[in-house]
Amino acid sequence: MKYLSRAAEIRRNQGAARLARRAARVAANRVEQARRRAVGELRRTYDLSGRTDADPRAVRRAGVDEIEHVVATRLEPRRSGRHFELVRHPPAVRYADFGDVLAGDWDRERVPITEYSEWDLVAALFDEQADWEETQLYEDCLDRFRRGRQVWGCASESELLDRVGYLQRLGASIESDGYRRDVEARDAVGTERVSGEHPDEVIVDVGRDGTLLHYSNGRHRLALAHQCDVDEIPVLVRLRHTAWQAVRDRVRSADSPAQLRDRSRRHLGHPDLRDVEPE
């Protein structure tokens, strides 16, 4: 009853519009609180082991050939959305956050990155013997536009052609000048930025044996890096397996490589260990 009385008082003194705004804020706050409780419960359920010592905003250099898989149970075709595929991440991964350390078998759920449609796009764009506008992928893009849908941030054929032209220029720049940090232009057609809390780089998770698994962001850039035979690219590490974090802890605690056992020493030089390796 006290809530009804308070609502009546606000309506009487401040008007119906003010009451509506207050009610909307209260409802939004309660939804957010419920969401946080649900996510917290899910994170506990899926073996969240703690937090890493590493800076979640640190940009690391990783070999392009080291990133061969997506951490996913499968890629599902989709008729709408930014991409042609919906990445089905393991639940443990889906509810993790930057800096989390997670146990379990989530890192064994892998799909080859070559199954991304962006791989087909980039391959067609750089194949001198092919016309990408004659491919099924191009027709699939046009079908999206006819149905009033977008793909890769584009809503029309003209925007798609602008996006493709930009990717071709970006590929030429990478081949001539190398792959630089934040290589994608902020005002390019179809560009999507990650949270302002983190640099706009390819995001990976690290499995139990140090394997780098693509999580999100930078599909086109990752495909271009492979196409242009780039050695290393900047990446952000989002999630680490518990077993890998243990390796990182042992390396960080050692005063010299000689103090490490072979199973830890063999990982020296790994992108996620360079900042803690003993001299």
- Name every residue whose Cβ is closer than 8 Å to that of residue 89 and which is 6 or more positions away in sequence: 71, 72, 73, 109, 215
Q: How far is CA 44 from CA 37, 40, 189, 243, in A?
A: 11, 6, 40, 18
Please say if the pLDDT value at position 35 is more than 60: no
∠160-165-171 over CA atoms, to 5°? 125
Confidence at residue 113, expressed as pLDDT on a 0 to 100 scale? 96
- Per DSSP, the chain holds a count of helices (H) and strands (E) of 9, 10
What 3-state class would DSSP assign to 85? Answer: strand
The DSSP 8-state label assigned to residue 258 in this structure reads G
The DSSP 8-state label assigned to residue 6 in this structure reads H
For CA atoms 113, 117, 118, 122, the dihedral sign is positive
Q: What is the DSSP string of 141-187?
A: HHHHHHTT--BTTB-SHHHHHHHHHHHHHHHHHHHHH---TT-S-TT
State the helix-helix crossing angle for 157-177 and 117-125, rounded to 10 degrees: 70
- Name the one residue in this structure whose structure tokens are 């032209």: 165
- In this prediction the pTM is 0.80
Amino acid letter, 257: P
Q: In degrees rounded to 5, what are phi and psi of residue 149?
A: -110, 165
Structure tokens at 140: 């699939």
pLDDT tens digits, one per residue of 230-255? 999 999 999 999 999 999 999 999 99
Structure tokens at 85: 């595929």
Q: What's the rounded Cα separation, in Å, for the pair 199 and 234?
A: 10
Average pLDDT on 97-117 reads 95
Query: What's the half-sphere exposure (Cβ side, CA atoms, 13 Å) at 246?
Result: 11
List the single range of 1-5, 71-75, 130-134, 258-262 with lowest mean pLDDT: 1-5
pLDDT tens digits, one per residue of 52-104? 999 999 999 999 999 999 999 999 999 888 899 999 999 889 889 999 999 99
Q: In degrees rounded to 5, what are phi and psi of residue 215?
A: -105, -55
- Name every residue whose Cβ is closer than 8 Å to that of residue 250 and which is 6 or more positions away in sequence: 260, 261, 264
Q: What is the mean pLDDT of the chain?
A: 85
